[in-house]
A and B are shown apart, each in its own frame.
Chain A
Amino acid sequence: QITLKESGPTLVKPTQTLTLTCTFSGFSLSTSEVGVGWIRQPPGKALEWLALIYWNNDQRYSPSLRSRLAITKDTSKNQVVLTMTNMDPEDTATYFCAHRGPWGIVPPFFDYWGHGILVAVSS
Chain B
Amino acid sequence: YELTQPPSVSVSPGQTARITCSGDALADHYTYWYQQKPGQAPVLMIFKDTERPSGIPERFSGSSSGTTVTLTISAVQAEDEADYYCQSADSIGSVVFGGGTKVTVL
Contacts and interface: CB of A to CB of B under 8 A. Distances in A.
Given A101-B44, A113-B42, A48 B97 contact: yes
A113 B34 CA distance: 11
Q: Which DSSP category, helix, strand, loop or mixed, fits chain A's interface?
A: loop
A119 B99 CA distance: 21
Interface band, chain B:
20 to 34
* Size bracket of the A interface: 20 to 34
Contacts of B40: 115
A90 interface: no
Interface of B: 29-30, 32, 34, 36, 40-44, 47-48, 53, 85, 87-89, 92-100
Interface of A: 37, 39, 46-49, 52, 60, 62-63, 96, 101, 105-111, 113-116
